[in-house]
Amino acid sequence: MGLTAFAAVLAETVPPLTPDGDEARGWAERELSKPVYAEAEPTLFDRIAQAIGEFLGNLFSTELQGPWGSTFTIIAAIVVIGLIVGAFLVWGLPRATRRSRVAVAELFGEPEGRPASALRSAAASHAERGEWDAAIVLRFRALARGLTERGVVDTPPGATVHGFARRAARAFPGQAAALEDAAGAFDDVRYLRRPGTAELYRRVAAVDDAVAAARPELLAEAPR
């Protein structure tokens, strides 16, 4: 086979390295449709923060002439600060801060990353087997994790069950006594090694159900 014939066969069997316009557009669309690009796309809050940053950079990199220069800069700075505050009020904290709250996997001094629903299921399984100590501890943890998921009460590392009960009582004053009683039940079986009972479990489960179905009167303040 001559060199010319070999080149003709190669051209027919090997795809071109330089695509035409339509083919290049198709390649780009298929590549950009991959999930990794959607996950990396900035949120609306990110775009607003970037726009404000660029505005500030342009504002303070430009020298304003005349007696009104400094006054205009101060007014513009106040407007920008107002926009930032408004963005926080409307869209909340940036996603990194929200994720850090969700990522806390400690509850009353013990590693615990399960959601409230999983903790309730585990507590019910122990209760069915008559393992009241574990059932009470897990159901109280479910109560605390549920309020954290709803954004009502925070349970940061180092939080105690009675401190949690007091903060939860601010949001649900009608359940104050029941919350304190449930915290006492947790302490009895977890730290004082007193045997749990079906009655104690019933009390903890009852206050968990009541709080889960109720609307908080106010959000509890974070512990100081």
pLDDT in tens, 145-171: 999 999 999 998 889 999 999 999 999
> How far apart (Å, rounded) are the C-alpha atoms in residues 71 and 55?
17
Instruction: Show the CA angle centred on residue 128, arms to residues 124 and 133, nearest 5°.
Output: 70
Q: For the chain, give the mean pLDDT.
A: 76
* Per-residue pLDDT band at 220 (split at 50, 70, 90): low
The first and second tokens of residue 182, run together, are 């449930």
Instruction: Show the CA angle centred on residue 127, arms to residues 121 and 128, nearest 5°.
Output: 90
> How far apart (Å, rounded) are the C-alpha atoms in residues 54 and 49?
9
* Span 84-122, pLDDT tens digits: 766 666 555 554 444 444 445 789 988 999 999 999 999
